């Protein structure tokens, strides 16, 4: 009876080992596939991260903050071809410059695309109703419309980069999960084999 139970448990352990091996293989494939696709798509954009000299110059010139500069230093001068670099570029370069552009027109406070769009349309509508608009009024309306366009393009690129970062992160998680699956499969395989050996010993003892 004990030998039969050992064989049953060993069989379950070996079956679980097989399942984990298959799962590990699939997750390894996902990790490699996602990694290759992310690198291929990012490389096709031909984006080069700002050099250390450029980062230092922009920090000194208040183009970006010291915190943004530190986040970019790790990838300085490299080709943008991975998730972490994409996130750094999106959050600490594109976003920082969009915030700076908005703050320059809004008394130091960054603006969203919707706010810039509403303000630009409002000023443009006012100009259309004004017969003797000054050069300053025209320039202000144009500046807000230009900001609107910049924020639209910046948010579009930033969104694409962060999508890529999200997929890259899923690929990394799949890689860790694959390692865990392989470890689990090895443990179940060892336990299953030990169980079979033990069942044979018990069977001989029961004879």
pLDDT tens digit sequence for 52-72: 999 999 988 878 899 999 999
**Can you give the pTM of this predicted structure?**
0.83
Q: What is the DSSP string of 59-127?
A: HHTTSS-HHHHHHHHTTTT-B--SHHHHHHHIIIIIHHHHHHHHHHHTTT----HHHHHHHHHHHHHHH
Q: What is the pLDDT of residue 134?
A: 85
Identify the helix (H) or strand (E) that includes residue 166. helix 135-206
Average pLDDT over residues 152-156: 95
The half-sphere exposure of 132 on its side-chain side, counting CA atoms within 13 A, is: 0
| Predicted confidence (pLDDT) at residue 32 exceeds the cutoff of 70 | yes
Nearest alpha carbon to residue 85 among 53, 112, 45: 45
Backbone angles phi, psi at 67, to 5 degrees: -65, -45
Average pLDDT over residues 22-39: 95
Q: Which DSSP category does 134 fall into? A: -
Mean of per-residue pLDDT scores for the chain: 89
pLDDT of 207 over the 70 cut: no
CA distances, 68 to each of 58, 62, 85, 162 (Å): 10, 11, 13, 16
CA dihedral 166, 171, 173, 178 (to 10 degrees): 170
What are the residue ranges spanned by the domains of the chain? 2-206
């Amino acid at each position: 009876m004990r030998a039969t139970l050992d064989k049953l448990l060993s069989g379950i352990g070996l079956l679980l080992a097989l399942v984990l091996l298959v799962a590990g293989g699939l997750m390894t494939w996902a990790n490699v596939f996602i990694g290759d696709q992310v690198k291929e798509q990012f490389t096709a954009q031909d984006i080069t991260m700002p050099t250390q000299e450029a980062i230092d110059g922009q920090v000194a010139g208040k183009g970006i903050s010291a915190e943004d500069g530190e986040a970019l230093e790790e990838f300085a001068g490299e080709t943008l071809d991975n998730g972490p670099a994409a996130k750094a570029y999106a959050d600490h370069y594109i976003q920082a410059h969009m915030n700076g552009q908005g703050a320059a027109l809004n008394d130091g406070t960054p603006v969203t695309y919707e706010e810039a769009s509403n303000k630009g349309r409002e000023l443009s509508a006012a100009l259309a109703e004004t017969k003797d608009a000054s050069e300053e009024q025209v320039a202000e309306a144009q500046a807000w419309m230009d900001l609107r366009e910049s924020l639209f393009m910046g948010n579009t690129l930033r969104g694409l980069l962060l999508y890529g970062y999200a997929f890259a992160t899923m690929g990394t998680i799949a890689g860790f999960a694959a390692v865990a699956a392989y470890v689990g499969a090895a443990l179940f395989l060892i336990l299953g084999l030990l169980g079979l050996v033990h069942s044979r010993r018990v069977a001989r003892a029961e004879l």
